[in-house]
Amino acid sequence: MALITTETKGVFVIAATPFEDDGALDRESIDRMVDFYYDKGADGLTILGMMGEAPKLTQAEAIEVTKRTIQRSGDKPVVVGVSAPGLAAIGELTKAVMDLGAAGVMVAPPSSLRTDDQIITYYRNVVDTVGTEVPVVLQDFPLSTGVQISSKTLGTIFENHASIVMLKHEDWPGLQKIADLRDAEAKGRRRTSILCGNAGVFLPEEMQRGADGAMTGFAYPEMMVDVVRLSNEGQPDVARDVFDAYLPLVRYEQQPGLGLAVRKYVLAKRGAIKSAAQRRPGAALNAAAIADVETLIERQTRKLELLN
């Protein structure tokens, strides 16, 4: 399988982890879901992200999910989240998933980091641990990690480590950060791939600032695919038309914690996975939330029909 590079573009969907209603890993749904994502136009997948249900998997299950996802993905790239409290665990998991054919690994900073130098040193240790031949995605997600990385510090890290090839961008606000990075590249810094997260809630503007695509888990990946394509084709206004049709649901799915239940509900409804169940602990949607989601989907469908 190909590795991700500084030139990687497009949409990497953060894949859900399918479970049976009784909490067992649903292997068949992994295949179905992987197919679903690619059918909708995904360029690659990201698994074991830190906001999903990866922490509920045993190590053996995490490896099994990785193996199955990579196999089903054929020659499409799969990035694997390996964030962990200790470098040893990061190193072990990285070796295991790269041996299985992963396209790269994603690492968020531990929440104890504060000063610029602490952050810079952390990524030096990560690269030393996983080896310079492994492509690394730096996940910049302050709302969740509490760690703020300035454009300048990101630049230092990118200059230090050629193997950190991609930024998973989900600072908030974060548009200026994309502009800062692209400006620095225009002045000579080597290129970095920038895929944007935050449920896609700023994707049209992010593409205008120079992002290469999206890496997030919205249950209608075709939204990201269309917005990225239309933006690249010089049709930002049409991209916004599509985006606006999906935005009410994007916003609803972006709710921390609850959003995962929304996402699985929609994926199950769309046939991508068999059950919306989360492994314990994890809340199901109650009747009021289901009513919200059904209303949002119905309205979204209507708007999309008007667009076509």
| Residues between 75 and 104 that touch a copy of itself (CB under 8 A) | 84-89, 91-92
Tell me which of 39, 172, 271, 284 binds a copy of itself, using CB under 8 A: 172
Tell me which of 32, 56, 67, 182 binds a copy of itself, using CB under 8 A: 56
Residues 120-159, mask of contacts with a copy of itself (x by CB under 8 A): -x---x--x-------------x----xxxx-xx------
Give the list of residues 6+ apart from residue 203 with CB closer than 8 angstroms, or none: 196, 211, 214, 224, 227, 228, 243
| Residues between 8 and 47 that touch a copy of itself (CB under 8 A) | none
Kindly tell me which of 143 and 162 has the beta carbon lying closer to a copy of itself: 143
Q: Under rule CB under 8 A, how many of the chain's residues touch a copy of itself?
A: 63
| Residues between 229 and 258 that touch a copy of itself (CB under 8 A) | 237, 240, 243-244, 247-248, 251-252, 255-258
Distance (Å, rounded) from C-alpha 165 to C-alpha 8? 9
Q: How far is the CB of 84 from a copy of itself (least distance, A)?
A: 8
Kindly tell me which of 7 and 99 has the beta carbon lying closer to a copy of itself: 99
Residues 180-219, mask of contacts with a copy of itself (x by CB under 8 A): ---------------------xx--x--xx----------
Kindly tell me which of 69 and 145 has the beta carbon lying closer to a copy of itself: 145
For residue 117, state whether it binds a copy of itself (rule: CB under 8 A). yes
Kindly tell me which of 33 and 201 has the beta carbon lying closer to a copy of itself: 201
Kindly tell me which of 76 and 169 has the beta carbon lying closer to a copy of itself: 169
- Three-state SS for 281-305 is CCCCCCHHHHHHHHHHHHHHHHHHH
Q: How far is the CB of 258 from a copy of itself (least distance, A)?
A: 4
Q: How far is the CB of 99 from a copy of itself (least distance, A)?
A: 15
Q: Which of 23, 66, 79, 30 is nearest to 214 (CA)?
A: 79
CB 76 within 8 A of CB 45: yes
Tell me which of 22, 74, 288, 308 binds a copy of itself, using CB under 8 A: 288
Tell me which of 55, 99, 190, 233 binds a copy of itself, using CB under 8 A: 55
Please report, for residues 60, 65, 274, the alpha-carbon distance to residue 253 in angstroms, rounded to integers and kept in the order given.
30, 24, 19
For residue 160, state whether it binds a copy of itself (rule: CB under 8 A). no
Please report, for residues 34, 152, 182, 199, 213, the alpha-carbon distance to residue 177 in angstroms, rounded to integers and kept in the order given.
31, 9, 9, 17, 15
Residues near a copy of itself, by CB under 8 A: 50, 54-59, 61, 84-89, 91-92, 111, 114-118, 121, 125, 128, 142, 147-150, 152-153, 172-173, 175-176, 179, 201-202, 205, 208-209, 237, 240, 243-244, 247-248, 251-252, 255-259, 280-281, 286, 288-289, 292, 295, 299
